[in-house]
Structure 1
Amino acid sequence: MKRIKMAYPKSKGTQEKLIRFILDYPDVAAFLAIGDLAEKIGISTSSISRAAVDMGYSGFPEMQKEIQQHLRRRILPTERMERAVTKDGNFTFRDSVRNDIENVKKTLSRIPDTLFNDAVTLLSKANEVFVVGLGTQHPSAMYFSGVMKQIRDRVTLISHETTEYFDCFSRISSRDVLLPICLPRYSRFTVHAAQEAEKTGCKIIAITDSEISPTGILADIVLQVEYESMSFFNSNVAVMAVLNALATSVAMEDWEHARERVGKFSEVALNWNAFYQENSGESMGERL
């Protein structure tokens, strides 16, 4: 919305009418089709398209997407929950699953193969891979770092614990890769971690919703994911799908090394009797 607000003082005519409407009724402008928006304001669709380009957007779709992102950042969880409730108040697990399937489909269409392959190459060749994600993204960050540790050496999950945080950023360098997972409402800690990493020349692969998100604008590679949910929290299904694909592809990149590491992990786990086996006798707790 910053570009729209900055353009307003110098705007005239149809552009001024458009900007004034957006600033007054962002909830409406964010979701109307361009024809409906033009009719509501009383200007032509071509005027809207020209105004969007004049403000630095590629066109109306990009401008509208930025308005939507602005709304998502400001909407409180309780408001999101109220908007998600259907008119008759009914909700089924099938609604939620269909929503997640749609998120995955949209995510698949937003990530080109070449971009994904570039991310895999960076993760494979990095001296060290750092992963960060807080809030509802923290479980995804923990999962990815855990799987990657079984595939390759030197993988670190950045914690908000002060000593661990300082330790990570005392050694992070241009030879490393940071993978921040950051969706609305964006974690201040995760954004700060990306900002600090950028200063060192570290490559950044952002898992986020937009190229203009707080981590997206800092990243070398942006893997855009859909996160729409039927409730007050973000859906992480598409995030997990992308992380699974990344981990699998990194393993395939250096299969022999990955197989060796996974074998060592499995051997240690078996030695510790980490997995449940029926009639196996003593438990891990008893051994400890």
Structure 2
Amino acid sequence: MNTVTSTPAASDVDSYSLPERIRLKHDLLTEGQRKVARFCLANPEEAGELTAMRIADKIRVSESTVVRFAVRLGYRGFPDMQSDLRATLAGRRSTTKVEGAAVKNDTNGRVARSLNADVESLRDSVEGLKVDQVCAAADVLYAAPRVYVVGFRTSFSVAHLASFHLKRVHPAVHLLSDMGGEFEDDLELMRPQDALLAITFPRYDERTLTAVSVAQAKGQPIVALTDSVLSPAGDLPHALFVGHHGQSFFNSTVAATAVVNALVVRMVEKRSAEDPEFEHGLVERFHHESGGARRSRG
């Protein structure tokens, strides 16, 4: 879990964004307030525009729960929280570089909004993560004798990419799969000293959460890529929170892919410190394999 050792002073909290405040105050929120938090994180545009009553109706809590949520986070009230949300959203729009790509055609406009959403998701993730958190998570994976990677549904593409790159840096990496009944067998093979890289976003696939539960029971170190402290994997010691919202029916994987890249870069750095020729060998092998693929197609 991305924890803090002390509660910041009120003047410090004033400078924090809504997601940061939720992370800091998560343990103090009631179940109803956590529902409000999930809604605000998943629907910032709506949360910035709807009345407290409308939000309460949508998520089936009382209006007072919505108001108390804002106060609990250190805002003067619900309008103050909305003003903060609107200012944050306005800042994102003004710095989005893809604006102007939309044309009169509505389809093209939606494509541009999708690109904007991915850019914003990546920006939010970069702003919310600390480099030392990413480095610490990568060090956990690097130190383990074996790394298991798990992610299903939309997250499977990120898990597969992570497994592919990690195998270039780490001697023992295994991608968990549910093909042929292997999943349960592989979970049994995991040892306490092995690490698990779990990638899970709404709707939080049960197989991934099962792998996390098994790893926790065995005392394994776990690195999680997930959306927020409200995620089922959000309270893990090495949970990295990344954006996932897109403009379609599926989760965006742009930010998660960027974090995977950063984890791999850190591990390459660690390996190169032990073997100065390692990174050069990786580059040579990459170009050799790419050239071989081109020749085979020719």
| Displacement after TM superposition at 1:156 (Å) | 0.8
| Displacement after TM superposition at 1:168 (Å) | 2.4
| Count of residues paired in the alignment | 233
- Pair 1:244-2:261 in alignment: yes
Distance change >3 Å, CA 38–CA 189, structure 1 → 2: closer
Unmatched 5+ stretches in structure 1: 7-18, 42-46, 65-87, 278-282
- Counterparts of 1:1-288 in structure 2, within 5 Å, are 3-4=31-32, 31-33=46-48, 36-37=51-52, 51-52=68-69, 58=73, 89-92=106-109, 93-161=111-179, 163-217=181-235, 219-255=236-272, 256-257=274-275, 260=278, 263=281, 270=288, 274-277=292-295, 283=296
Distance change >3 Å, CA 166–CA 257, structure 1 → 2: farther
**CA–CA distance in structure 1, aligned partners of residues 43 and 287 of structure 2:** 55
Distance change >3 Å, CA 241–CA 273, structure 1 → 2: closer
**Deviation string for 1:104-153 (max 9, x for gaps)?**
10001111122112112111111211111111111111111111001111
- What is the letter of the counterpart of residue 193 of structure 1? A
Distance change >3 Å, CA 49–CA 39, structure 1 → 2: closer
Q: Secondary structure at the match of 2:293?
A: coil
- What is the letter of the counterpart of residue 245 of structure 2? E
**CA–CA distance in structure 2, aligned partners of residues 31 and 135 of structure 1:** 27
Residues 111, 223 of structure 1: 8 Å contact kept = yes
Q: Normalising to structure 2: TM-score of the pair? A: 0.64
**CA–CA distance in structure 2, aligned partners of residues 273 and 171 of structure 1:** 37
Distance change >3 Å, CA 241–CA 124, structure 1 → 2: same
Q: Secondary structure at the match of 1:222?
A: strand
CA RMSD of aligned residues (A): 4.3
Unmatched 5+ stretches in structure 2: 1-28, 57-63, 82-104
Residues 268, 279 of structure 2: 8 Å contact kept = no
**CA–CA distance in structure 1, aligned partners of residues 171 and 130 of structure 2:** 27
- What is the letter of the counterpart of residue 134 of structure 1? F
**Deviation string for 1:235-264 (max 9, x for gaps)?**
111111111111011110121559548838
Q: Which moved more, 1:160-169 or 1:28-37?
A: 28-37
Residues 150, 156 of structure 2: 8 Å contact kept = yes
**Deviation string for 1:154-200 (max 9, x for gaps)?**
11101113543234222322212111111112111111111111100
Q: Normalising to structure 1: TM-score of the pair? A: 0.66
| Displacement after TM superposition at 1:31 (Å) | 3.6
How high is the sequence identity, in percent, across the aligned residues?
25
**CA–CA distance in structure 1, aligned partners of residues 217 and 45 of structure 2:** 34
**CA–CA distance in structure 2, aligned partners of residues 106 and 245 of structure 1:** 15
- Structure 1 or 2, whichever has the larger Rg, is 1
